[in-house]
Amino acid sequence: MIVNNNIKEIQSLMKDIKKQGKTIGIVPTMGALHAGHMSLVKKAKENCDFIFVSVFVNPTQFGEGEDFDKYPRTLQADLDKCEEEGVDLVFTPTNEIMYGEGYSTYIEALNISQILEGAVRPIHFRGVCTVCTKLFNISMADYGFFGQKDYQQVAVLKKMVRELNAPIELVMCPIIRDTDNLALSSRNVYLSPEERARALFINQGLFAAKEAFDKGEKDINVLRKILTDTILKGKPDHVDYIDIFDRNTLEKAKDVNNAVILIAAKYGSTRLIDNMEL
Amino acid sequence: MIVNNNIKEIQSLMKDIKKQGKTIGIVPTMGALHAGHMSLVKKAKENCDFIFVSVFVNPTQFGEGEDFDKYPRTLQADLDKCEEEGVDLVFTPTNEIMYGEGYSTYIEALNISQILEGAVRPIHFRGVCTVCTKLFNISMADYGFFGQKDYQQVAVLKKMVRELNAPIELVMCPIIRDTDNLALSSRNVYLSPEERARALFINQGLFAAKEAFDKGEKDINVLRKILTDTILKGKPDHVDYIDIFDRNTLEKAKDVNNAVILIAAKYGSTRLIDNMEL
């Protein structure tokens, strides 16, 4: 496994890989790798010849007062997991390498990136779009693998790729849940046992609404009530949104066709997101 | 010569070209092709195996009240010139193809794109960066050829390419001047003979300052005075800037090291730009 952070060297290598007719898959991560990330790596391996993983806690997607400084960094463990899973290359740049002196180029995907997560975290998707474009260019990947857990992120990035005609196809992979059904997240380590117990009502709400839907309940207001009532039993310390949205526009859904439940709430100071398509 | 505006078809074709180990050169244009554009095509042919020319009057780089509607459109003549020069593919998209319903992804190269041309035309470089990124992605070009006439444009795009790690190298090609030394521009057709006669003082000013510099004059204030006095003899109807700048930052130069003269002025309602490196 190659571990490198020299962009010119990597681009030269990736050019060679492409000349050999191999397909390249990228799994962009901020490290603190868990089974969710590794499921993306596995999916990439099923579909591509060369697996490129990036480990970079991207400063431009964190706003003031967010958890950039305390975000878990576990590089050696991450490298071990990548090696074990048969990753071909891990790119581990510093901030200086990614954003040198006087850096000023940013990509904005307006509209869809300004609601929900974008409303709470105004510069978040600008940072995500910018870093992903850089990573796509550095890896020269044919396919990019992203987790459904960050549902809006996938929607924003797919729109960006389509609109900029970027020569890459993005693949959304299922959410991986822990044994207690909490969606895996690098931020789960912040939760106290008491907070985690309350947070478990998130997936209970998701599953309850989905179950009702599958059993024939198509009234969106009834489903909203099941969802919200269940989650509020966990007494979240703050709710950003618990609602049902249109999968394409991420606007509030008027009916259950093509709908997705999206949730963002805080337990203690830890902000969790989760979702489920109906 | 292929003439096509189907992005998916072109990207599939360009992938094949790359697999054959050929290098691709792109010359992005807004059409109304003149000898300046054709010098870029010639330079591309010297350096690349496959020559991709785009002809697209890009709406996102024109502001309110600018000349988008009246910008000269001469597609058949442009195609004839490309054919004659041995261009391999001409991409001639519509606005709808480039910016579909709900389009919202834009690239901003801040700082350097907010001064000079950017100060007068606030959304101009956002449009240029966005359309060029799309064209680079569609053409999959290894090299992009741009005229020195749009000096700041080249500086902004080079910064964007470097900062986004785009796998393309940009080449700046010399200004081509008419027999009377006016820099070639598709907008010159707007000039009345009287306006054109006054505009000729632009290149007289440039050449006078350059000649003084070459003969040993290194006092930037003396050079500024030669430049400005000469150009003002042509009584421009409006001056945006006539000055000497640092080539890298495009900030006002303190001395003549690494300097470039940049000019933007109006004759009648026609805005002209020109420049010369010292």
> Per residue in A3-17, pLDDT tens?
999 999 999 999 999
Nearest to B109 among A105, A109, A163 (CB): A105
User: What is the pLDDT, as a whole number, of residue B111?
Assistant: 87
Q: Which two tokens stand for residue B261?
A: 């003269």
What is the reported pLDDT for B250?
96
- With a CB cutoff of 8 Å and minimum separation 6, the contacts of A206 are A227, A261, A263, A274, A275, A276
Cβ-Cβ contacts under 8 Å, A15 against chain B: 167
B147-160 pLDDT, tens digit per residue, is 999 999 999 999 99
Per-residue pLDDT at B249: 92
Please count the other Cβ atoms lying within 10 Å of the Cβ belonging to residue B15: 13
- Chain B nearest-CA distance from A275, in A, is 25
Q: Which residues contact residue B16 at a Cβ distance below 8 angstroms, ignoring those fewer than 6 apart?
A: none
Which of B60, B132, B165, B170 is best to mutate for the A interface (most A CBs within 10 A)? B165
**What's the mean pLDDT in B226-233?**
98
pLDDT at residue B138, rounded to an integer: 98
How far apart CA A26 and CA A88 sit, in angstroms, is 10
3-state secondary structure of A4: strand
CB-defined contacts A:B, below 8 A: 80
Span B155-175, mean pLDDT? 98
Q: What percent of chain A is modeled with pLDDT above 70?
A: 100
| Residue-wise pLDDT tens digits, A95-148 | 999 999 999 999 998 889 999 999 999 999 999 999 999 999 999 999 999 999
How far apart are alpha carbons A131 and A28 in whole angstroms? 9
User: Which residue numbers of A have CB closer than 8 Å to B's CBs?
Assistant: 7, 11, 15, 18-19, 21, 100, 102-112, 129-130, 133-134, 137-138, 140, 159-160, 163-167
Closest CB to A163: pick one of B103, B110, B160. Answer: B103
Strand order in the sheet with A259-267: A238-246, A259-267, A270-277
Residues A220 and A256: beta-carbon distance below 8 Å: yes
Residue A271: helix, strand or coil by DSSP?
strand
Q: Count CB-CB contacts under 10 A for residue B96.
A: 9
Q: Dig out the tokens for A166 from the structure.
A: 């970027």
Position A89 pLDDT exceeds 90: yes
Contact B111 A105 (CB under 8 A): no
Contacts of B198 (CB under 8 A, 6+ apart): B234, B235, B236, B267
Which element (helix H / strand E) includes A55? Answer: strand A50-55
- Cβ-contact B243, B236 below 8 angstroms: no
Task: Give tens-digit pLDDT for B251-260.
Answer: 999 999 999 9
pLDDT at B122: 92
Q: Would you say B183 and B177 are in contact if contact means Cβ atoms under 8 Å apart?
A: yes
Range B68-89 average pLDDT:
97
- Nearest to residue A141, comparing CAs of A164, A166, A109? A166
DSSP letters spanning chain B: -EEE--HHHHHHHHHHHHHTT--EEEEEE-S---HHHHHHHHHHHHH-SEEEEEE---GGG--TTSSTTTS---HHHHHHHHHHHT-SEEE---HHHHS-TT--EEEEETGGGTSTHHHHSTTHHHHHHHHHHHHHHHHT-SEEEEETTSHHHHHHHHHHHHHHT-S-EEEEEPPPB-TT-PBP-GGGGG--HHHHHHHHHHHHHHHHHHHHHHTT---HHHHHHHHHHHHHTT--SEEEEEEEEETTT-SBPSSSTTEEEEEEEEETTEEEEEEEE-
- How far apart CA A114 and CA A24 sit, in angstroms, is 31
Look at the pTM and tell me if it is higher than 0.80. Answer: yes
The pLDDT tens digits of the residues spanning B102-119 come to: 999 999 988 899 999 999
DSSP H or E stretch at residue A193: helix A193-214
Residues 6 or more apart whose CB falls under 8 angstroms from that of B9 comprise none
The domain ranges of chain B are 2-173, 186-277
Interchain CB distance below 8 Å, A134 and B164 = yes
Question: Helix or strand or coil: residue A174?
Answer: coil
Q: Is A238 noted as a catalytic residue in this protein?
A: no
What is the rounded average pLDDT of the residues B41-66? 97
- Here the ipTM equals 0.95
In one-letter notation, the amino acid at residue B245 is F
Residues of chain B with C-beta less than 8 angstroms from the C-beta of A102? 111
Q: Where do we find the tokens 């930052």?
A: B249
Question: Nearest residue of B to residue A12 by CA position?
Answer: B167
The catalytic residue among A34, A37, A124, A238 is A37
Q: What is the pLDDT of residue B263?
A: 98
What is the DSSP-derived secondary structure letter of residue A186?
A: G
- Select from 1.10.1040.10, 1.10.3720.10, 3.30.1300.10, 3.10.129.10 the CATH code of A186-277: 3.30.1300.10
The mean predicted confidence, pLDDT, of chain A is 97
Q: What is the pLDDT of residue A134?
A: 98
Mean pLDDT score, B122-136: 97
- The encoded tokens of residue B91 equal 């991409």
Report the candidate in B61, B199, B58, B200 with the shortest Cα–Cα distance to residue B117.
B61
Q: What mean pLDDT do residues A25-35 have?
A: 97
Asked whether the beta carbons of residue A104 and residue B134 sit closer than 8 angstroms, the reply is: no
Q: What stretch of H or E contains A259?
A: strand A259-267
Average pLDDT over residues A153-161: 97
* A240-264 pLDDT per residue, tens: 999 999 999 999 999 999 999 999 9
Q: pLDDT by residue (tens digit) across B13-28?
A: 999 999 899 999 999 9
* A106/B104 touch (CB, cutoff 8 Å), yes or no: no
Tell me the fold of B2-173: Rossmann fold (3.40.50)
- Chain B residues with a Cβ under 8 Å from any Cβ in chain A: 7, 11, 15, 18-19, 21, 100, 102-112, 129-130, 133-134, 137-138, 140, 159-160, 163-167
* Closest to B138 measured CA to CA, from A164, A173, A83: A164
Per-residue model confidence as pLDDT tens digits over A195-226: 999 999 999 999 999 999 999 999 999 999 99
